Chains A and B, each alone.
Chain A
Amino acid sequence: MSAGAAAARYDCIVIGGGHNGLTCAAYLARAGRSVLVLEAAERLGGAAVTREFAPGFSVSACAHLLHLMPGSLVSELDLATHGLKLAAERMPTIALSADDAHLPLGPEGAAALAAHSQRDAAAYPLYCERLGRLAAALRPVLSATPPRLGSAEWKDRTALLGLGWRLRALGRRDLRELLRIGPMCVQDLLDEHFESSLLKGALAFDAVLGSNYGPRSPGTVFTLLYRLAAAAGEGAGLAQPAGGLGSLSEALGRAARAAGVEIRTGAPVTRIRVHEDRAAGVVLQSGEEIAGRVVVSSADPKTTFLRLLGSEHLDAGFVRRIVHLRARGLAAKLHVALDGPPQFAGLAPSALGARLLWAPTPQHIERAYNHAKYREYSSSPVLEITVPTIADPTLAPAGCHVLSVVAQYAPYELAGGWTEARPRFTELLIDTLAALAPGLRAQLRHAELLTPADIEREFRMTGGHWHHAELALDQFFVLRPVPGVAQYRAPVGGLFLCGAGCHPGGGVMGIAGRNAARQVVREAA
């Protein structure tokens, strides 16, 4: 039978049970739509999952911190009652230094900073305050659907005027500063304010984390402001859900179900069915066809358009844009099982609950980045280290601990491929850690490295990039993921996007899912 003729059983079919897919589904159901979520894996969560990587040792397998999800979203979906508990919140950040003069960031580190540089200690609060102001002004942009430029529609024009007005409301001095520093490279910004290379290294790290750039790349102040804007105001700061990020996904799943969403796991979608030039449903690997009036994909744009939909349904110019969409992951994830607490030289055991950064100087980061440009992995990588078992012992056997480490740069398209490079890079990372935490090797029981290639395979994101599409000025807001679909609406009727590849991007934020749901409700009644 022609499934096109089959009555749609669902108003909306959401492809992918990651945090954005689930968020989108929950909001759609709350708006009265009948929703089906199809997740390829056996469990929900996409890149926000907790899984065992060694007997008895579990870890948040991809994303390992929760800090960008708006408090409003958490409360609207009532995630607390659906089981989201935070094992740690407002986690401090500590910049690790080779000479053990580690530097806690934020107010608690004021004294330590003064020890590094009196001048910086004076400058730092002002710097934070100003960037905070600019980020706060940008924050509403994240939750807004990007307007279409040059369109005659009043809603686009008013959106643009509103944006312009908000920026002008910053006042002359801040507006000028925003327009000046926005496109700048973070190194220049930091050099204007500070002298301590340890402080500059730590601040630069957050600007390039998850981006395909180094501190000297123009536009990295923008990525920093983006991160600050997302983290601004509400929310519990850097947080670690009890049971890892998987429990966030489970909470989202429960919230969605409670709202009436039907969820099927182990149901990989192989095709988006098009009937009379409209998305009419999906085809599963099993061959089963499910009809839906609207299909919303949380898969990355390349997967959605080139694999699931198929370029035959798109015009050549659009396909070219999708092909050129940059999504080359360059962050690797290292999981280490230890049979004791790691001992970082010069770091009090009480400080292990913090987020530890190994990026001693901006130059160190820049040199690490240089390798990525030539498809090599960094010979001295930069690291974001957490010890989730400090706040949440349930993740490991009694007395044992887990290191969860994001390591840059590890380019997706490594020259020579990852298969034989993986063990070498793993060793390099463990050596780097052991240099900071002597005795680590003696405690080491098991280590697992997820390269971007592995992340692509396990979490089904093209290029293994956790933002689905690189965050850069030329792939942001009205240009994200590519011009024409920034409003979450695909060029094919009835098809929408709700993943990290859309505005405002990834990082366990959920805003893309919420924005997309709003658009679907508006446009596909």
Chain B
Amino acid sequence: MSRPAPTRHDAIVVGAGHNGLVAACYLARAGLDVLVLERNPYIGGAAVSRRLYDGFTYSNCSYVCSLLRTEIIRALELPRFGLQIIPYEGGCTLMRGGGHLALYDNHDALRREFARHSRRDAESYDRFVRDMLRHCRFIKPLLLRTPPDPSSFRPRDLSELLWLGRHFSGLGEARLYDTLRFFTMSCADMLEEYFESEIVKAHLAGSSIIGTALGPRSPGSAYVLLHHYMGSIDGAVGAWGFARGGMGAITRALAASLEASGGRVRAEAPVERITVRNGRASGVVLAGGEEIRAPIVVSNLDVKRTFLESVDPRELPGEFLDSVRKFKIRGSSGKLNIALDGLPQFPAIPQGSPCTRGDMHVTDTLEMLERGYDDWKEGRWSRSPYVDMLIPSQIDPTMAPDGKHYMSVFVQYCPYRLADGEWTAAKRQAFGETVIGAIARHSPNFRDLILHAEIRTPQDIENDVGLTEGNIFQGELSFDQLLFNRPVPGYAQYRAPLKGLYMCGASTHPGGGVMGAPGANAAGEILRDLGRHS
């Protein structure tokens, strides 16, 4: 049969993840005819709501809305398109042996709770929060800026470097040293400067290792903590909250916003390769062979997928491909999505305490967390894993049938490659069993309530979502891969070394978490190249 002539658009975005959609929205609002192509039959990438068990909605990949930039929510009018974020009411860590540490959004209640474990830590907490806020204030302006290239002499890079320098020295001498230390420290060392109580340190340290191949004693983990705090301390709309209807609500709102400004999303349209004509990106070819043309192609895929799998290597500089191969994308996280026949009991927690309506943990010492990392280094999942569990259905009834509940369990650490050979169905089960056991230790009726459990290893996440190694950040957030080093030195400004090809995924600055900043920044660079400063 003769194939119809290729359709044309101003820009094609490969991948309908939240960053791809954010980029598309900004381009469409600038008047471009944008087409977003998604491999899966559903859109959203890692920000999805799936119905995998009757009556239940799973946020089966990302599970909290904390980092999505307020600027983006406003600019793209996401609330108007149905995005509603419901904040956490608390959080807690359950201790081996029955105790617990509760976190409340009420500051005084929180201090009283800390004092229960250590009077001194309750005092230190204010100092800790003050310092974290300061670090956040320092880093936030960097999120929606394109990193300069420190090795370049172009006016724009020089002035941006100058801006960075001023922004930095604006902290004042003493603060400046603290910031420098903070960004190079390990989370454990940092927390030990504030707190003495193991449980307090353990609870706070959790965020420092989520999604990374680092332990709490690895230098650089303090920054990862901050990366997750940017939402949690952010005063903006619904910091650390549930998206009503699951994480898919975010990408649904983005898609609606996109369509409202004339863009289109096409699902079940797997891009096979990005086409190149006389040295510049010219469009894509879909798996079926259908060709779609556009002078601008924006890839929401991680850099390895984009450049090692979707573009003809002959079209790219060997040195660049080399750095892309060196870019570290390590699978270290797993996920369980569990349908429950009722609300699990946690005897350690007083009836009706709001602290179950937030993130719950079972890691009560830094050592337990660090040993979990040691397991990962040895190529096995943590024998006592760090779990970040949430029961969104307590707050958002749309997630589960009446009286039943949905529990999202994020698990650190789980390796992409096991030392004892390939992942098998049996090993996946064993992994799930380890996690369920870790939770059941604190909840007598938990096991009996389980109606269905989706167990996802890094390999499953890679296969379903398309994230290399199932790394939730599309690349380690270690400081050799941040700012102007992200994704690779010299190419941190969203442009590929191929005219017309851009990157907008979490592989680029400022990295992962459902933040949207890479998408927004990438769109900014594209519009700049088109001479349309928005």
Contact (Cβ within 8 A) B151 A168:
yes
Whether A277 is near chain B, meaning CB under 8 Å from some CB there, is no
| With A472-B184, A478-B180 as contacts: A150 and B480 at CB distance below 8 Å | no
CA distance A478 to B217 in the complex (A): 22
Contact (Cβ within 8 A) B171 A150:
yes
Whether B204 is near chain A, meaning CB under 8 Å from some CB there, is no
Contact (Cβ within 8 A) A192 B326:
yes
Contact (Cβ within 8 A) B193 A179:
no
Residues of B within 8 A of A484 (CB): 174, 177
Contact digits for A124-160, partner B, Cβ 8 Å, 1 yes 0 no: 0000000000000000000000001111000000000
Give chain B nearest CB distance to A16 CB in angstroms. Answer: 26
| Chain A 420-447 interface residues, beta-carbon cutoff 8 Å to B | none
With most chain B CB atoms within 10 A of its CB, the pick from A149, A168, A213, A320 is A149
Which one of B152, B217, B326, B489 lies within 8 Å of A373 (CB-CB)?
B217
Which one of A148, A175, A188, A374 lies within 8 Å of B173 (CB-CB)?
A148
CA distance A478 to B171 in the complex (A): 16
| Chain B 175-199 interface residues, beta-carbon cutoff 8 Å to A | 176-178, 180-181, 184-185, 189, 192-193
Q: Please give the number of chain B residues whose Cβ is less than 8 angstroms from any Cβ of chain A in the complex.
A: 38
Contact (Cβ within 8 A) A483 B193:
no
CA distance A151 to B41 in the complex (A): 57
| Partner-binding segment picked from A35-43, A64-72, A95-103, A215-223 | A215-223
Whether A347 is near chain B, meaning CB under 8 Å from some CB there, is no
Which one of A175, A472, A483 lies within 8 Å of B219 (CB-CB)?
A472
Contact (Cβ within 8 A) B480 A183:
yes
Which one of A148, A179, A326 lies within 8 Å of B150 (CB-CB)?
A179
Residue of A whose beta carbon sits closest to that of B482: A183
CA distance A218 to B480 in the complex (A): 9
Whether A176 is near chain B, meaning CB under 8 Å from some CB there, is yes
Residues of B within 8 A of A478 (CB): 177, 180
Contact (Cβ within 8 A) B151 A217:
no
Contact (Cβ within 8 A) B151 A176:
yes
CA distance A484 to B173 in the complex (A): 9
Residue of A whose beta carbon sits closest to that of B189: A326
Contact (Cβ within 8 A) B185 A188:
no
Give chain B nearest CB distance to A365 CB in angstroms. Answer: 12
CA distance A168 to B181 in the complex (A): 24
Contact (Cβ within 8 A) B479 A149:
no
Residue of A whose beta carbon sits closest to that of B192: A324
CA distance A326 to B217 in the complex (A): 13
Contact (Cβ within 8 A) B181 A183:
no
Residue of B whose beta carbon sits closest to that of A149: B176
Residues of A within 8 A of B169 (CB): 149-150
Whether B367 is near chain A, meaning CB under 8 Å from some CB there, is yes
CA distance A229 to B480 in the complex (A): 20
Which one of B151, B168, B370, B479 lies within 8 Å of A175 (CB-CB)?
B151
Residue of A whose beta carbon sits closest to that of B325: A192
Give chain B nearest CB distance to A141 CB in angstroms. Answer: 15
Give chain B nearest CB distance to A127 CB in angstroms. Answer: 14
Contact digits for A166-196, partner B, Cβ 8 Å, 1 yes 0 no: 0010001001110111111100100010000
CA distance A324 to B479 in the complex (A): 23
Give chain B nearest CB distance to A129 CB in angstroms. Answer: 17
Residue of B whose beta carbon sits closest to that of A317: B174
Contact digits for A452-478, partner B, Cβ 8 Å, 1 yes 0 no: 000000000000000000001110001
Residue of A whose beta carbon sits closest to that of B328: A188
Residues of B within 8 A of A148 (CB): 173
Contact (Cβ within 8 A) B173 A183:
no
Whether A370 is near chain B, meaning CB under 8 Å from some CB there, is yes
Whether A366 is near chain B, meaning CB under 8 Å from some CB there, is yes
Residues of A within 8 A of B193 (CB): 320, 324
Residue of B whose beta carbon sits closest to that of A221: B480
Residues of A within 8 A of B185 (CB): 474
Whether A314 is near chain B, meaning CB under 8 Å from some CB there, is no
Contact (Cβ within 8 A) A183 B174:
no
Residues of B within 8 A of A238 (CB): none
Residue of A whose beta carbon sits closest to that of B326: A192
Give chain A nearest CB distance to B374 CB in angstroms. Answer: 5
Whether B229 is near chain A, meaning CB under 8 Å from some CB there, is no
Which one of B173, B220, B326 lies within 8 Å of A149 (CB-CB)?
B173
Residues of A within 8 A of B490 (CB): 172, 176
Which one of A150, A175, A183 lies within 8 Å of B184 (CB-CB)?
A183
| With A168-B151, A478-B180, A479-B180 as contacts: A151 and B367 at CB distance below 8 Å | no
Whether B478 is near chain A, meaning CB under 8 Å from some CB there, is yes
Contact (Cβ within 8 A) A374 B214:
no
With most chain B CB atoms within 10 A of its CB, the pick from A168, A180, A182 is A180
Residues of B within 8 A of A324 (CB): 192-193
Number of A-B residue pairs, CB cutoff 8 Å, is: 93
Residues of B within 8 A of A320 (CB): 193
Residues of A within 8 A of B489 (CB): 176-177, 179-180
**Which secondary structure dominates chain B's binding surface?**
helix
Residues of B within 8 A of A176 (CB): 151, 489-490
CA distance A326 to B219 in the complex (A): 13
Q: Which range contains the number of A residues in contact with the other chain?
A: 35 or more
Whether B218 is near chain A, meaning CB under 8 Å from some CB there, is yes
Residues of A within 8 A of B145 (CB): none
Residue of A whose beta carbon sits closest to that of B490: A176
Residues of A within 8 A of B214 (CB): 218
Contact (Cβ within 8 A) A216 B377:
yes
With most chain A CB atoms within 10 A of its CB, the pick from B150, B193, B371 is B150
Residue of B whose beta carbon sits closest to that of A175: B151
Contact (Cβ within 8 A) A175 B174:
no
Contact (Cβ within 8 A) A219 B184:
yes
Give chain A nearest CB distance to B326 CB in angstroms. Answer: 6
CA distance A474 to B181 in the complex (A): 5
Which one of A213, A218, A366, A473 lies within 8 Å of B377 (CB-CB)?
A366
CA distance A213 to B218 in the complex (A): 8
Residues of A within 8 A of B173 (CB): 148-151
CA distance A213 to B184 in the complex (A): 14
| Chain B 479-514 interface residues, beta-carbon cutoff 8 Å to A | 479-480, 484-485, 489-490
Which one of B172, B181, B371, B377 lies within 8 Å of A150 (CB-CB)?
B172
Residues of B within 8 A of A181 (CB): 480
Contact (Cβ within 8 A) A219 B220:
yes
Contact (Cβ within 8 A) A183 B171:
no
Residues of B within 8 A of A366 (CB): 377
Residues of A within 8 A of B184 (CB): 183, 219, 472-474
Which one of B171, B178, B192, B218 lies within 8 Å of A217 (CB-CB)?
B218
Contact (Cβ within 8 A) A149 B150:
no
Residues of A within 8 A of B374 (CB): 370
Contact digits for B326-351, partner A, Cβ 8 Å, 1 yes 0 no: 10100000000000000000000000
Residues of B within 8 A of A179 (CB): 150-151, 484-485, 489
With most chain A CB atoms within 10 A of its CB, the pick from B150, B168, B181, B192 is B181
Which one of A175, A216, A479 lies within 8 Å of B218 (CB-CB)?
A216
CA distance A65 to B185 in the complex (A): 30
Residues of B within 8 A of A180 (CB): 480, 485, 489
CA distance A69 to B214 in the complex (A): 35
Contact digits for A105-120, partner B, Cβ 8 Å, 1 yes 0 no: 0000000000000000
CA distance A148 to B176 in the complex (A): 10
CA distance A273 to B176 in the complex (A): 32
Contact digits for B440-481, partner A, Cβ 8 Å, 1 yes 0 no: 000000000000000000000000000000000000001110
Q: List 29 A-B contacts (CB under 8 A).
A: A149-B173, A149-B177, A150-B173, A168-B151, A172-B490, A180-B480, A181-B480, A183-B184, A184-B480, A213-B219, A216-B218, A217-B217, A218-B214, A218-B219, A326-B189, A366-B377, A370-B374, A373-B217, A373-B367, A374-B370, A472-B184, A473-B219, A474-B181, A479-B177, A479-B180, A479-B181, A483-B174, A483-B178, A484-B174
5 smallest beta-carbon distances between A and B, as pairs: A483-B177, A176-B489, A473-B184, A150-B169, A474-B184
Question: In the complex, given contacts A183-B220, A192-B326, what are 13 additional A-B residue pairs having Cβ atoms less than 8 angstroms apart?
Answer: A150-B171, A150-B176, A179-B150, A182-B480, A183-B184, A188-B328, A217-B218, A218-B220, A370-B374, A474-B180, A478-B180, A479-B177, A479-B180
